[in-house]
Amino acid sequence: MDLISGIALGLNVAVTTEALLFCLIGVSVGMFIGVLPGIGPLAAVAMTLPITYHLEPMSALIMLAGIFYGAQYGGSTASILLNLPGTSTTAVTALDGYPMAKQGRAGVALFITTITSFVGGCFAIVLVMSFAPALGQMALKFSSAEYFSIMLLGLVAAATMSLGSPIKGLISVVAGLLLATVGMDSTSGVVRYSFGVLELQDGLNLVAMAMGLFGVAELLKNAGKPRDLAPQKVRMRELIPTRKDMKECWKPTLRGSVVGSFVGILPGAGPTLAAFLAYAFEKRVSRTPEKFGRGAIEGISAPEAANNASTQAAFIPTLALGIPGDAGMAVLLGAMMIHGITPRPEFFTTNADLFWGLVVSFWIGNFMLLILNIPLIGFWVRVLTVPQRLLFPAILFFICIGVYSVSNSPFDVMTVIVFGIVGYLMNAYGYPPAPMLMGFILGPMIEQHFRRALLFSRGDITTFIDRPISATFLVLTLLLIASIAIPTLIARRRGLPAED
Amino acid sequence: MKTSKPNKHETIAGLVWVVLGLAAIFVARGYAFGTITRMGPGFVPVMLGILLVVFGLFAAWQGRTLPGVSLNLRLRPFAYIIVGIVVWVLLVDWAGFVPATVALILISAQSERGMKWTEAALLAAGMSLVGYLIFIRGIGIPIAAFGS
Across the interface, do B139 and A54 touch by the CB < 8 Å criterion? yes
Low-confidence ranges of chain B (pLDDT < 70): 1-7, 68, 70-72
pLDDT one-digit tens code per residue, A206-233:
888 988 998 898 888 887 776 656 777 7
pLDDT one-digit tens code per residue, A291-320:
888 888 888 999 999 989 998 898 888 888
Decide if A394 is inside a domain.
yes
Distance from CA of A468 to the nearest CA of B (A): 22
Apex A358 CA angle, A352 and A361, nearest 5: 135
Decide if A91 is inside a domain.
yes
Q: Does B88 contact A at CB distance below 8 Å?
A: yes
pLDDT one-digit tens code per residue, A402-455:
888 888 888 999 999 999 999 999 988 889 888 899 899 889 889 999 999 999
Q: What is the pLDDT of residue A440?
A: 92
Q: What count of CB pairs under 8 Å joins A to B?
A: 175
Residues of chain A positioned with their CB less than 8 A from the CB of B1: 428
Decide if A232 is inside a domain.
yes
Q: What is the pLDDT of residue A227?
A: 65
Distance from CA of B100 to the nearest CA of A (A): 10
Residues of chain A positioned with their CB less than 8 A from the CB of B77: 220, 223-224
Apex A393 CA angle, B103 and A220, nearest 5: 115
Nearest to B106 by CA among A414, A404, A394: A394
Residues of chain A positioned with their CB less than 8 A from the CB of B65: 497-498
Q: Does A219 contact B at CB distance below 8 Å?
A: yes
Residues of chain A positioned with their CB less than 8 A from the CB of B112: 223-224, 387-389, 392
Decide if A378 is inside a domain.
yes
| 8 Å CB contact between A213 and A436 | yes
Decide if A499 is inside a domain.
no
Instruction: Tell me the sheet residues that pair with A191.
Output: A184
Decide if A10 is inside a domain.
yes
Question: Is the pLDDT score of A366 beyond 60?
Answer: yes
Decide if A87 is inside a domain.
yes
Task: Classify burial at A57, counting beta carbons within 10 Å of its beta carbon; exposed 0-12, middle 13-18, buried 19 or more.
Answer: middle
| Number of residues that this document lists for chain A | 500
Across the interface, do B82 and A185 touch by the CB < 8 Å criterion? no
d(CA A438, CA A317): 14
Number of domains composing chain A: 1
Distance from CA of B147 to the nearest CA of A (A): 16
Decide if A498 is inside a domain.
no
Structural domain boundaries enclosing A466: 3-493
Phi-psi region of A83 (alpha: psi -120 to 50; beta: other; left: phi over 0): left
Distance from CA of B22 to the nearest CA of A (A): 12
Across the interface, do A394 and B85 touch by the CB < 8 Å criterion? no
Q: Which of A175, A188, A224 sits opposite B52 (nearest CB)?
A: A175
Across the interface, do B39 and A454 touch by the CB < 8 Å criterion? yes
Q: Does A174 contact B at CB distance below 8 Å?
A: yes
pLDDT one-digit tens code per residue, A50-74:
888 788 888 888 999 898 888 888 8
Question: Is the pLDDT score of A499 beyond 60?
Answer: no
pLDDT one-digit tens code per residue, B26-57:
999 888 888 888 888 999 999 999 999 999 99
